[in-house]
Each structure stands twice: as C-alpha cells, then as structure tokens.
C-alpha cells in the first residue's frame, strides 16, 4: 500500500481558495513547535508576532510602511512568474533604484532646487531599476543565459556598488565616518500622509500599482498574453504571441517597480542612503507573490501579512528575546507550505494497493 | 616563488567548497532535478558543521554534522519537488530562504567562537619540496576528498550501470519509467547526494577556510556552484576546470586589493559575480547549436499508473 500523487481532471477551485489559509495554519502550528524548542512560551510568542502589532496605531502604520515595498516588488514579480520568467534579483533592482534616485537627492543637497526633485527621483529610480532588470532579460532572450542565475548575481553587484558609494564619494562629511549620505532635503523626501505619523505617500502609490496590475491582467490583451505564455507556451506560439518580448516587458516592469520601491524606502522611512536599507524585501517579495497566488489583490493581502511578521518579529525580539532569524525561518516555512498546498489544486493523493502487474518499477 | 606557492594554495582552498557543492549539484541535475537551494543547504551545513566541531572538538564530526544537515535540507526539497510535484524553481528558492534563517538561528550561539581549523597533511621530505610540496602534499583532507569525489562521480556516471540509469532519468523520465526504473526514487537519491555535498561544502568554510562562523558566510557560493554546473556543460571534467578558474578569480581580486591597485575594493569584490554573468552569457551563446543540459532538467514527473 502506498500514497501516490494523481492528477485531477480539473483544477480544484475550492482548494485554490482555501490553500493559502491552510498554509498559514500549518505554518503557525510549526512555529508553535519551534517556539517550544527555543524554550519560549508559544502562546505569548504567537501573540507578540500576530496580535500585538495590530493593537496600536504606531505598529499598524508601520505594517503599512513595511508592506509598501513588499507589495510593489511582488506585483512586478508576479507578472514575471505568470509569464514563466524567473526574476529573482528584485533585491538588486531595488538597491539600484535607491542608488539612482539618491543621486539626484545628493546632487541637489543644500541647493534651492524646487518641487521637481522628488518626482525626478521617482522617475529615475524606476528607469534605473528597469534597465538593471533588462540585463538578465536580454542575456536570456539574446543568448539563452539562465535569468535565474544572472539576476541573482547582479544582487551582489548592486549591493557592493551601493556600499562603495556611501563609503566613498557620497559619504556625509559630517557623518562621523559612518557609511551613509547626509539626510535628504525636505524636497527630496516622500511626504507623510499624517503629520507626525509614519504612513507616507508611498503606500498610496503601492495601492495604485495594485489597481493598475489588476486592470492589466484582468482587462487587457497584454495581460492575457502574459498569462497564456506562462500557462500554455505552445498555445501562445500558435496565437502568435511573442514570448521573448514578454520576458523583456515583464522584467522591465518588475525592475521599474522594484526600483521605485527602493527610492520610496530611502526617501521615505529611511531618509538617507546607507547599506542595509533592505531587510531582504526583494526575496521576501517572492514569498508575497506566491502567497498572494500571483493575483494583485491576493498580493496586497499577502504583503500586509508578511509585513506583520516583520513587525511582530521585531516586537518578539524586544519583548521575549526571540532571535530575528525566526522571522526568516517563518517566512521560509510559509513558502514551503504555500507551494505544497498549491500542489493539491492540480493533484490529489490516492492510496494504491499495487497488484502484481504494476508492482514492478513504480516508486 | 613563495608568493606563487601561496597563491596556488589560496586558489585551491577557495575552489574546494565550490567544487564540492557543484559536484553534488551536477549529480542532482544529471538525474533531471534542478535544486536551486544549494546556497541554503550550504549555509545550514556551515552552521551545523561549526556547531558540531565546536561541541565535540573534532573537525571530522563537524564535517559529518554538515553532511547530515545538508542531506536533511535536501530531503525537504525532495519531499516537495518530487513527492508533491511542486515547481522546482520555487521550491529551491524557498529552501534558500529557509536555510538562511535556520543557519542564523543555529549559528547565533557560536558567533565569535573559534576552533582549531582542519590540520594540513605533512609528510616529512615531500611537503618540504619547494613550490609543489605544500600544494601536493600539504593540503587539508577536504581538498583531497573533493578531488576523489569528482573522480568518483565521473566513474559512477560514465562507467557504471547505475550512473547510466541516473542519466537516463535526467534525459527522458518517461522512457526510464517505461523501462521500469523507479524514476522518483533515483531522483531522491540524487537530490540527497547533492544535499550531502552542499552541506559538506558549507561546513568546509568554518572548519578549514576560516576557523569561525559568521552569518551569511557562504556569500553566494551556492549560486556560483549552480552557475559552475552550467559552465561545465554537466560534465565532471570541465567542472574541475571551472571551479579552479573561479577560485582563481576570487583570490586574484583579494590579492589585487592587497597590492593597492587604484580600484575600489567593492569593485574587485564584485568580480566573481560579474565573471559568473559574463561566463553564463558567453557559454549559452556558444551553445546555440543544441543544449547540453539534461533534457528533462527541472520538469515535473508524476508517474501514471
């Protein structure tokens, strides 16, 4: 007797709907065990992770602030993944966007440059992110080089480039030798939505991106092409859709969104360029994209949920001395469960009792 | 002469983790499975390897810890990608994200601790030979093992029936299945071998390369190992050349930083990563005539009954 996987005749819509919830449930069960192993009270730890951040307005704003880059990057990644193009270098595109936008902020520092500074920063950051993402896309389309490996390698390059700038030419002369630029001028800063709060204009931009992606995927021919190329490449070829062109397009869009997220993070919550501006947003966004089922609305919800785990992780560290790495473990486990549950949309388990004919060589 | 010898020794040391990890991944990919989680398995191997060595005082037991940790990580991958037929790219990424978190958690208590690194071979009379003595007879056990490993893998893949069957699974899983071979079981073993190698390669870093553990110390070596497999066209012989070439690039940039060439150190540090991109492009371009990758690489297989 053995348990085997069997393809369903049709994809199960029920499982498609509940699978993220099952995945989150299983993750919480696993985390409970992990907390117990670490010698922490699991109930208190889960409370610190998932409930406490929802109970005060500062943390709620902070969740929205953290969700902003996650959602923007994940929307771009979801377009890539739908088109079967594997951009996993969003972290690098995020950093390059931050660097490009910061260039304007650094060069106009202390001058009487006007209100054009911030919009120019946003545009330049998006353009730089798109160009940086086009490197792996073009290497893929022109030469057939694996976009997975090239896009990932460029993350390390971007990280080192940023490090060079803030330790070298862009370092704040009054910064006590810390590797950081000077604080950006007010015209180079993303405005806050509530005076004295944390919520900033970037969150509105993220919502607009979600809406735009929903329209693109649900209401336009381009969106249809992206979905067909990914789901049925052969049908797409018969339909005359150009898969290479879509790889270029989706990489450029996702790079632009990651770059935009980068400058919004730097010119918003951080306020200056420094190493470590991202706690791995570009990688966490991969989880957000899958947890959100590559669907814009789903990504918005998933982004808020993962932002909650970032804030919860920080609070659990302060209150219960739970190491921050637990958050990463949590995110990794969550992605595993999401993928495993997704498998049940297309397949189901079946018990088989091998008889003599099929007993040979099935495994 | 002293300098040349020092550089060769450094290149060998820098290449060894790449070679071990890439050897494992080569076998995995030859069976038709693309495990992108090498970086995650390596970093967990590094943390567990150091923990094992620090707790027991034995480098050998540390290496075993690394191997077991890498294998366990690869079993998670096998369960997902083979057992549940999940997309292999996404599963590999998940494994890396999980591995980075786990290694931080496991290694947190060991940051700042030091161990005595792996001893180097010393044969009176031979190790003292100028230039080649220490290169040939003065390495640590990992270096010799990595060379034995790749020769063993070459022999297995091309000179044994089991190796032929494994390659058949990688090239056409439907045919292999039709002939009665247990495709998923063979692939599971290949994935476990890859995990064991990645764990050992990770453990090499804190056990022999630097005698301490720092979070994130693999620094993308797992990804470079993946690129090396592509570079090698899935052939063991070329893999050795590739691993030593990349080790040389790493050491070259370190030395160039030391010589005070007027280039910022960050640009030199970026060299191995940029070299990977360029090599991938050049190789893929040269190969437009026909792919040398295992034909079924990365595709899902669910046996029908």
Q: What pLDDT, on a 0 to 100 scale, did the predictor assign at position B265?
A: 82
Q: With CB atoms and an 8 Å threshold, state whether B93 touches A88.
A: yes
> Does the distance separating the beta carbons of B281 and A86 come in below 8 Å?
no
User: Rounded to a whole number, what is the distance in Å from the CA of B84 to chain A's nearest CA?
Assistant: 6
Please indicate whether, in this complex, the C-beta atoms of B101 and A328 are within 8 angstroms of each other: yes
What residues of chain B, 215 to 274, have a C-beta less than 8 Å from chain A?
Answer: 215, 219-220, 223, 226-227, 230, 264, 266-267, 269-270, 273-274
Give a three-class secondary structure readout of chain B.
Answer: CHHHHHHHHHHHHHHHHHHHHHHHHHHHHHCCCCCCCHHHHHHHHHHHHHHHHHHHCCHHHHHHHHHHHHHHHHHHHHHHHHHCCCCHHHHHHHHHHHHHHHHHHHHHHHCCCCCCCCCECCCCCCCCCCCCHHHHHCCEHHHHHHHHHHHHHHHHHHHCHHHHHHHHHHHCHHHHHHCCCCHHHHHHHHHHHHHHHHHHHHHHHHHHHCCCCCCCCCCCHHHHHHHHHHHCCCCHHHHHHHHHHHHHHHHHHHHHHHCCCCCCHHHHHHHHHHHHHHHHHHHHHHCCCCCCCCCCCCCCCCCCC
> Which of B182, B226, B277 is opposite residue A154, by nearest beta carbon?
B277
Percent over 70 (pLDDT), chain A: 97
Q: Which of A7, A323, A339 sits opposite B94 (nearest CB)?
A: A339
Q: Cα-flanking dihedrals φ and ψ of residue B302, to 5°?
A: -120, 110
> How many Cα atoms occupy the beta-carbon half-sphere of A53 within 13 Å?
27
Q: Give yes or no for residue A354 having a pLDDT over 70.
A: no
> Between chains, do A156 and B270 touch, taking CB under 8 Å as contact?
yes
Size of interface A-B (CB pairs under 8 A): 162
Mutation for testing the B interface, residue in A275, A276, A332, A341 having most B CBs under 10 Å = A332
Neighbours of B52 (CB within 10 A): 24
Mean pLDDT of B187-196: 96
Q: What is the pLDDT of residue A2?
A: 72
Domain ranges across chain B: 2-286
Give pLDDT, residue B169.
93
Residue B95 has pLDDT above 90, yes or no: yes
Q: How far off is chain B from A236, nearest CA to CA, in Å?
A: 19
Evaluate if residue A357 carries a pLDDT over 70. no
Q: Nearest chain B Cα to A353, which residue?
A: B305
- DSSP 8-state class, residue A185: P
Q: A1 in helix, strand or coil? A: coil
Contact flag B302-A6 (C-beta cutoff 8 Å): yes
- Partner A, chain B 113-172, Cβ-Cβ below 8 Å: none
* Chain A residues closer than 8 Å to B303 by CB: 4, 362-363
The per-residue pLDDT for A363 is 41
Query: What per-residue confidence (pLDDT) applies to A65?
Result: 94
Which chain A residues touch B185 with a CB distance below 8 Å?
A: 363
Q: Are A5 and A289 in contact (CB under 8 A)?
A: no
Q: Sort out which chain A residues have CB atoms less than 8 A from B276's CB and list them.
A: 149-150, 153
Confidence band, pLDDT 50/70/90 cuts, at residue A154: very high
* Residue B221: how many other CB atoms lie within 10 Å: 28
Q: What is the pLDDT of residue B121?
A: 77
Residue of B90, B94, B303 lying closest to A362 (CB–CB): B303
pLDDT in tens, B28-60: 999 999 999 999 999 999 999 999 999 998 999
Instruction: Tell me what pLDDT residue A239 has.
Output: 83
How many C-alpha atoms does B175 have within 13 Å on its Cβ side?
11
Closest CA–CA distance from residue A21 to any residue of chain B (Å): 18
**Of the partner residues B91, B274, B302, the one whose CB lies closest to the CB of residue A339:** B91
Crossing angle of helices A296-320 and A57-82, rounded to 10° = 140
What is the mean predicted confidence (pLDDT) over A130-136? Answer: 97
**Least confident window among A310-314, B108-112, B192-196:** B108-112
Report which listed range, A5-9, A186-190, B144-148, is most confident: B144-148
**Could you say which of B86, B227, B304 has the minimum Cβ distance to residue A149?**
B227
Q: Does B176 touch chain A (CB under 8 A)?
A: no
Contacts of A325 in chain B (CB under 8 A): 101-102, 104-105, 108, 215
Which range of A47-56, A60-69, B249-258 scores highest in mean pLDDT? It is A60-69
pLDDT, one tens digit per residue, over B223-253 is: 999 989 988 889 999 999 999 998 998 888 8
How many Å lie between the alpha carbon of A202 and the closest alpha carbon of chain B?
27
Across the range B125-152, mean pLDDT stands at 83
Helix (H, G, I), strand (E, B) or coil at A183: coil
Q: Taking residues A35-49, report their average pLDDT.
A: 88
CB-CB under 8 Å, B227 with A164: no
Contacts of B226 in chain A (CB under 8 A): 149
pLDDT at B1: 66
pLDDT of B145 > 70? The answer is yes
Q: What is the pLDDT of residues B214-229, one digit of tens each?
A: 888 888 899 999 989 9
A153/B223 CB distance under 8 A: yes
- Smallest Cα distance from B29 to chain A, Å: 14
For residue B83, which residues of chain A lie inside 8 Å, CB to CB?
5
Confidence band (pLDDT; 50, 70, 90) for A1?
low
User: What distance in Å separates the CA atoms of residue B24 and residue B35, rounded to the nearest whole number?
Assistant: 10
Is a pLDDT exceeding 70 seen at residue B260? no
Backbone angles phi, psi at A361, to 5 degrees: 75, 20
Query: Would you call B76 and A336 a contact, using CB atoms and an 8 Å cutoff?
Result: yes
Q: The tokens of A193 are what?
A: 């939505």
Q: Say which range, A65-69, A216-220, A263-267, A352-356, has the weakest mean pLDDT.
A: A352-356
* Tokens linked to B259: 């010589």
Which residues lie closer than 8 Å to A112 by C-beta, 6 or more apart? none
Closest alpha carbon to A249 in A96, A91, A82, A70: A82
CA B284 to chain A, closest CA, distance in angstroms equals 5
Contacts of residue B220, defined as CB under 8 A and 6 or more positions apart, other chains included, come to A152, A153, A156, B39, B273
Phi and psi at residue A197, to the nearest 5° = -95, -160
| Pairwise CB contact (< 8 Å): A331 & B180 | no
Contact at 8 Å (CB) between A361 and B177?
A: yes
For residue B264, pLDDT over 90 is answered with no
The answer to whether A123 touches A77, Cβ cutoff 8 Å, is no
Most confidently modeled range among A170-184, A288-302, B120-134, B190-204: B190-204
State the pLDDT at residue A126: 97
Judged by CB atoms closer than 8 Å, whether chains meet at A153 and B273 is answered as yes
Angle between helices B221-231 and B38-56 (to 10 degrees): 130
* Best A81, A276, A363 residue to mutate vs chain B (most B CBs within 10 Å): A363
The pairs formed by A60-64 with CB atoms below 8 angstroms and a separation of 24 or more are A61/A194, A61/A197, A61/A198, A61/A199, A62/A198, A62/A311, A63/A304, A63/A307, A63/A308, A63/A311, A64/A199, A64/A203, A64/A304, A64/A307
d(CA B23, CA A129): 35
Average pLDDT of chain B, as a whole number: 88
pLDDT at B288 over 60: no
Q: Does B175 touch chain A (CB under 8 A)?
A: no
Give one DSSP letter per residue of A139-166, joined into a string.
HHHHH---HHHHHHHHHHHHHHHHHHHH
User: For the residues A81-98, what does the mean pLDDT come to?
Assistant: 94
Is B97 within 8 Å of chain A by CB? yes
pLDDT at A359 over 70: no
Yes or no, beta carbons of B104 and A323 under 8 Å apart: yes
Band of the pLDDT at B257, cuts 50, 70, 90? confident
Cα–Cα distance for residue pair A65/A316, rounded to 1 Å: 19
- pLDDT of A26 reads 92
pLDDT of residue A128 exceeding 80, the answer is: yes
Q: Which CATH class is domain B2-286?
A: mainly alpha
pLDDT value at residue A355: 61
Rounded distance between C-alpha atoms, residue A224 and residue A208, angstroms = 20
Report chain B residues whose CB lies below 8 A from the CB of A329. 98, 101-102, 105
**pLDDT of A11 strictly over 80:** no
**Residue A360 above 50 pLDDT?**
no
Chain B nearest-CA distance from A225, in A, is 21
pLDDT tens for each residue of A162-172:
999 999 889 98
> What residue in A sits closest to B106 (Cα-Cα)?
A325
CB atoms closer than 10 angstroms to residue A75: 31
Mean pLDDT, chain A, as a whole number? 89
């Amino acid at each position: 007797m053995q348990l085997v996987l069997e393809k369903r005749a049709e994809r199960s819509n029920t499982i498609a709907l509940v699978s993220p919830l099952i995945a989150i449930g299983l993750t919480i069960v696993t985390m409970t065990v992990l907390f117990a192993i670490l010698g922490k009270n699991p109930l208190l730890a889960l409370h610190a992770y998932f409930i406490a951040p929802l109970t005060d307005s500062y943390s709620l704003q902070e969740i929205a602030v953290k969700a902003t880059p996650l959602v923007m990057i994940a929307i771009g990644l979801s377009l890539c993944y739908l088109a079967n193009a594997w951009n996993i270098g969003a972290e690098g595109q995020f950093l390059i966007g931050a660097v490009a936008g910061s260039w304007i902020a650094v060069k106009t520092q202390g001058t009487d440059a006007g209100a054009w500074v911030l919009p120019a920063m946003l545009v330049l950051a998006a353009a730089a992110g798109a160009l940086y993402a086009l490197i792996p896309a073009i290497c893929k389309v022109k030469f057939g080089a694996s976009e997975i490996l090239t896009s990932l390698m460029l993350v390390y390059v971007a990280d080192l480039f940023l490090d060079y700038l803030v330790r070298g030419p862009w370092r704040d002369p009054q910064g006590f030798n810390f590797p950081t630029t000077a604080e950006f001028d007010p015209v180079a800063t993303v405005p806050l939505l509530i005076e004295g709060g944390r919520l900033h204009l970037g969150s509105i931009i993220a919502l607009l991106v979600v809406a735009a992606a929903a329209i693109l995927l649900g209401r336009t021919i381009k969106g249809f092409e992206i979905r067909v190329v990914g789901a049925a490449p052969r049908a797409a070829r018969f339909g005359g859709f150009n898969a290479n062109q879509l790889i270029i397009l989706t990489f450029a869009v996702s790079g632009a969104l990651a770059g935009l997220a980068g400058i919004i993070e730097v010119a918003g919550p951080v306020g200056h360029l420094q190493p470590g501006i991202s706690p791995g947003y570009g990688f966490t966004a991969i989880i957000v994209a899958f947890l959100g089922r590559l669907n814009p609305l789903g990504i918005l919800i998933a982004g808020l949920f993962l932002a909650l785990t970032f804030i919860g992780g920080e609070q659990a560290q302060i209150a219960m001395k739970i190491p921050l790495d637990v958050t990463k473990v949590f995110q990794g486990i969550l992605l595993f469960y999401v993928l495993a549950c997704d498998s049940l949309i297309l397949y189901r388990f079946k018990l088989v009792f091998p008889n003599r004919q099929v007993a040979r060589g099935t495994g | 002469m002293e300098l040349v010898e020092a550089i060769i020794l450094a290149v060998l040391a820098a290449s060894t983790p790449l070679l071990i990890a890439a050897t494992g991944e080569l076998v995995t990919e030859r069976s038709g499975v693309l495990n992108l989680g090498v970086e995650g398995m390596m970093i967990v191997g590094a943390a567990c390897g150091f923990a094992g060595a620090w707790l027991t005082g034995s480098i050998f037991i540390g290496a075993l810890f690394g191997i077991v940790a890498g294998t366990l990580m690869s079993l998670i991958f096998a369960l997902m990608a083979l057992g549940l037929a999940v997309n292999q790219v996404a599963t590999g990424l998940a494994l890396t994200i999980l591995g980075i978190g786990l290694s931080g958690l496991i290694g947190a208590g060991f940051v700042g601790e030091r161990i005595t690194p792996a001893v180097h071979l010393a044969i009176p009379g031979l190790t003292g030979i100028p230039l080649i003595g220490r290169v040939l007879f003065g390495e640590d056990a990992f270096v010799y093992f990595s060379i034995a490993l790749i020769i063993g893998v070459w022999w297995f893949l091309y000179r044994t029936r089991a190796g032929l069957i494994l390659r058949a699974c990688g090239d056409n899983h439907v045919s292999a299945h039709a002939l009665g071979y247990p495709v998923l079981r063979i692939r599971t073993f290949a994935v476990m071998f890859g995990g064991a190698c990645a764990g050992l390669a990770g453990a090499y870093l804190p056990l022999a390369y630097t005698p301490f553990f720092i979070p994130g110390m693999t620094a993308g070596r797992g990804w470079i190992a993946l690129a090396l497999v592509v570079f090698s066209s899935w052939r063991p012989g070329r893999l050795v050349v590739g691993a030593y070439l990349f080790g040389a690039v790493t050491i070259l940039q370190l030395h160039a930083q030391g010589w005070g060439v007027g280039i910022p150190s960050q640009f030199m540090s970026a060299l191995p990563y940029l070299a990977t991109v360029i090599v991938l492009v050049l190789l893929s371009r040269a190969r437009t005539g026909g792919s040398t990758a295992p034909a079924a690489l990365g595709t899902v297989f669910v046996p029908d009954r």
